[in-house]
Amino acid sequence: MGKKVVLTGNYSASEAAALCRPDLIAAYPITPQSSVVEYLAGMVHNGKIDANLVQVESEHSACSVVQGAVAAGGRVFTATSAQGLALMYEPYFRMSTLRFPMVMALATREMTSPETVWSGQQDAMSVREAGWIQVYCDGNQEIVDMVIQGYKIAENEKVLLPVNVCYDGFYSSHLTEGVDLPLQEEVDRFLPAVHFNHCVLDPEKPFALDPLTPGPLMMKYRKSHLDAMEAALTVIEEVDKEFGDQFGRYYGGAISEYRTEDADVVILTIGGMTGTGMDAVDLAREQGIKAGLVKIRFARPFPAKRIAKALAGKKAFAVIDRSVSFGWSTGPMYMETRAALTDVDDKFAHFSAIGGLGGADISLDRMLGTIKKLDTVKNEPGQKETQWYMTD
Amino acid sequence: MKEIRLHGRGGQGVVKASQIVVRAAVAGGKNGQFIPFFGVERKGSPVFGYLRISEEPIRRKMQVYEPEILVIMDDSLVGLPATYAGLKDGGIVVINSVKTAEELGVPSNAGEIAIVDASGIAEELIGRNIPNTSMLGAFAKASGLVDKEVLFTEIEKAFGAVNRQAAERAYEETIVTKK
């Protein structure tokens, strides 16, 4: 097994990225991600990893530089947050649509304005339609394991897509706890050296990359991209099993469930609120409420079928979002969960809960409050008012 | 699970001290978790720290509302409503100060008050007001939550022998009053 170390969430991402033997790392500092690449820069400087580290002048450049390296057949890594992600949007979109596999850590942060540097998932949620795979972690062990699994998923020939490993800014990025860090030889066994056939820049064999593409061909590319997303749902489960068989830690694939088997009411969580939600479920059970939890691990591809199966036969559900969907007066994962269910208003009482914006806390009391509200409305199917975790 | 809240100011080492406690807890076979909360990241602004130590895995990732132990690194913070808020009945308050418990307005439900001049020790031994390692000595004495030898070893690993000395001296000099 690995070695027990005490790390922050950001350093967990760095250590895991280093274990994946990246050829090139480029990033630009932004709170709360900055220490991910500072730590990696230190590892490169000290000779602990053999990677090219490129200091760039912006996130747009960071994403462009890693894009060039992956086009040349390399394994690459970067990290960002919020406004940095916004600035890299143009090469970010091209990364997925060129089908370039890579892993980017995203220490999720609220989008300005008002000016903020604190936690929130609005940044990651706003790029759900940019073609990347997105996994949301709860805790530092999951960050380590999903960076490693991320490359395995991204580089699978049925997938060939970039992966965002998302974790909550500060509440996870700056959380210190013990993790089991896999040994290099174990990771090497799980994640062999990368070989791409579709993207190799070789001066001896010049070819044009990304020429102007007419609509009919574009349609084929987009469909193929969507097919790869669909295929990723299976690959995610396979990689979870392979990882679990080797390292002893299984995460359940695209979703995981906690005490849902006999539950009447279910909360759906995403990211670092999940552990608190499990404690809330236990407390609710002690108070006689048959509560359960579904953790949405991957938002892209969205695990619609598994969520529908997990909620089948339940009376009520609430989806707790750490971001908003402008235009729906709800959180985005709530809308997508609804879309995954048929006859939702006949079968379930349901509502959206929104909390934790701009660094606000998603507390045990708040989550317990959501479960209690579900319990009171569970026999009245249909959508209820959005619950906001306001302080006053 | 023990929930601890730390109050300090940017530059006093709340984060580094808490990380050392987590390392000591993990080294002692327990689970530890620390989450900081900063306002603006600069010297002098209030910093909050949420620290948990448990035999069981720690799942919740949230602030600490009802601490069993409060660690206050700067006694000018006791006037802020957030500082003593939610202290559990019989809880422990550890303060860096030369004042008395009465002068510091320690809430009446506290079960144990530990006061040490951590800034004075730091200035004398380290040469500047960086009270965090001295406060760890006081924390170890008042709480008994982490093995002090393991803690002092982690302090020395992170910051060297002088800081270990500061923690050891604070451990001796901390005055613990039980109510």
Lowest model confidence (mean pLDDT) among A133-137, A192-196, A298-302, A342-346: A192-196
- Give the separation between CA B179 and CA B176, rounded to whole angstroms: 10
State how many domains chain B has: 1
Burial zone of B154 (CB within 10 Å; 0-12 exposed, 13-18 middle, 19+ buried): buried
Any B CB within 8 A of A142 CB: no
Claim to verify: residue A243 and residue A267 sit in the same structural domain:
no
Kindly state whether residues A176 and A280 are assigned to the same domain.
Answer: no
In this structure, what CATH number is given to the domain that contains residue A57? 3.40.50.970
Question: Is the minimum CB–CB distance between A278 and chain B shorter than 8 Å?
Answer: yes
Q: How many CB atoms lie within 10 A of CB B134?
A: 35
Give chain A's domain count: 2
pLDDT at A1 over 80: no
pLDDT tens per residue across span A204-237: 888 888 999 999 999 999 999 999 999 999 999 9
DSSP A326-385: TTTTB-HHHHHHHHTSSSHHHH-EEEEEE--GGG----HHHHHHHHHHHHHHTTS-EEPP
Alpha-carbon gap: A138 to the closest alpha carbon of chain B (Å): 9
Task: Flag if B62 and A361 touch (Cβ within 8 Å).
Answer: yes
Residues A25 and A159 reside in one and the same domain: yes
Residue A304 sits in the same domain as residue A323: yes
Say yes or no: A107 contacts chain B, CB-CB below 8 A.
no
* Domain termination site, one of A185, A212, A247: A247
Q: Are residue A36 and residue A177 in the same domain, yes or no?
A: yes
Whether residue A28 contacts residue A62, with contact meaning beta carbons closer than 8 Å, is answered with yes
**Residue A329, domain extent:** 255-388
Asked if A240 and A262 sit in the same domain, the reply is no
Does one domain contain both A163 and A27? Answer: yes
Does B23 sit within 8 Å of A177, measured CB to CB? no
Contacts of B85 in chain A (CB under 8 A): none
Task: Please check whether residue A29 touches B, CB under 8 A.
Answer: no
State CA A218 to chain mean position distance.
27
A297-326 residues touching B, CB cutoff 8 A = none
Is this prediction's pTM over 0.95?
yes
Same domain, yes or no: A95 and A237: yes
Specify the pLDDT at position B1: 96
* pLDDT-above-70 percentage for chain B: 99
Angle between helices B132-143 and B148-159 (to 10 degrees): 170
How confident is the model at residue A195, as a pLDDT? 83
Do A93 and A134 reside in the same domain of the chain? yes
Residues A241 and A261 in one domain: no
The whole domain housing B106 covers: 2-178
- Tell me what ipTM this predicted complex has: 0.96
Q: Which value, to the nearest 10 degrees, does the dihedral of the CA atoms of residues A202, A204, A210, A211 take?
A: 170
- Residues A137, A210 within the same domain: yes
| Tokens read off for A363 | 């507390």
Final residue of a domain: which of A199, A223, A247? Answer: A247
Cβ within 8 Å, pair B19-A6:
yes
Type and span of the H or E element at A38: helix A35-45
Q: What tokens does A120 get?
A: 């929130």
Nearest CB neighbour to A363, from listed B15, B36, B65? B65
Distance from CA of A360 to the nearest CA of B (A): 10
Q: Do the Cβ atoms of A263 and A291 come closer than 8 Å?
A: yes
Among A302-311, B11-20, B42-51, the range scoring the smallest mean pLDDT is B42-51
Judge if A312 and A182 occupy the same domain: no
Among the candidates A213, A247, A281, a domain finishes at A247
CATH number of the domain bearing residue A269: 3.40.50.920
DSSP codes of every residue in chain B: -EEEEEEEETTS-HHHHHHHHHHHHHHTT-EEEEEEEESSSSTTSEEEEEEEEESSPP---S--SS-SEEEES-GGGGGSHHHHTTPPTT-EEEEE-SS-HHHHT--TT-SEEEEE-HHHHHHHHTSS--THHHHHHHHHHHH--S-HHHHHHHHHHHH-HHHHHHHHHHHHH-EEEE-
Choose among B34, B36, B60: nearest Cβ to A364.
Answer: B60
pLDDT of residue B41: 64
Average predicted confidence (pLDDT) for chain A: 97
Cis peptide leading into A114, omega within 30 of 0?
A: yes
- Residue B43: band (very low, low, confident or very high) from pLDDT cuts 50, 70, 90: confident
CA distance A361 to A373: 19
Give dist(CA B47, CA B44) in Å, integer: 9
Question: Among A31, A176, A361, whose Cβ lies nearest the Cβ of B22?
Answer: A176
pLDDT per position as a tens digit, A150-168: 999 999 999 999 999 999 9
Average pLDDT over residues B157-173: 97
Residue of A nearest to B17 (CA): A176
Would you say A149 and A243 are in contact if contact means Cβ atoms under 8 Å apart?
yes
> Looking at beta carbons, which residues of chain B come within 8 Å of A8?
19
Q: Which residues of A touch B19 (CB under 8 A)?
A: 6, 8, 176
Q: Which CATH number characterizes residue B54's domain?
A: 3.40.920.10
Cα separation, A373 vs A375, whole angstroms: 5
